Amino acid sequence: MATSKRPAAKKKCGPCRGTGEISRPVQVGRKRRTVGHQTGMCLKCFGTGQAATT
């Protein structure tokens, strides 16, 4: 179970570019008008900023 050092070769997550956060447009109304951007956790890497290796 002991997880020692991981390889340094880490892939950056694409959508968030390694930041772990992603900005998504905030849309309101039925016409989905974009009123701004909201920063949220990247669902691709779950906030780690590293591309998931599956």
Does the protein bind Zn ion through residue 50 (CB under 5 A)?
A: no
Does the protein bind Zn ion through residue 5 (CB under 5 A)?
A: no
Identify whether the C-beta of residue 49 lies closer than 8 Å to the C-beta of residue 12.
yes
Residue environment code for 24-36, b if the CB has 16+ CB neighbours within 10 A, otherwise e = eeeeeeeeeeeee
Q: Which residue has the tokens 């956060």?
A: 21
Q: Kindly state the smallest distance separating residue 26's Cβ from Zn ion, in Å.
A: 19
Which of 3, 13, 28, 31 touches Zn ion (CB under 5 A)? 13
Span of 4-12, 27-35, 44-52 interacting with Zn ion by CB under 5 A: 44-52
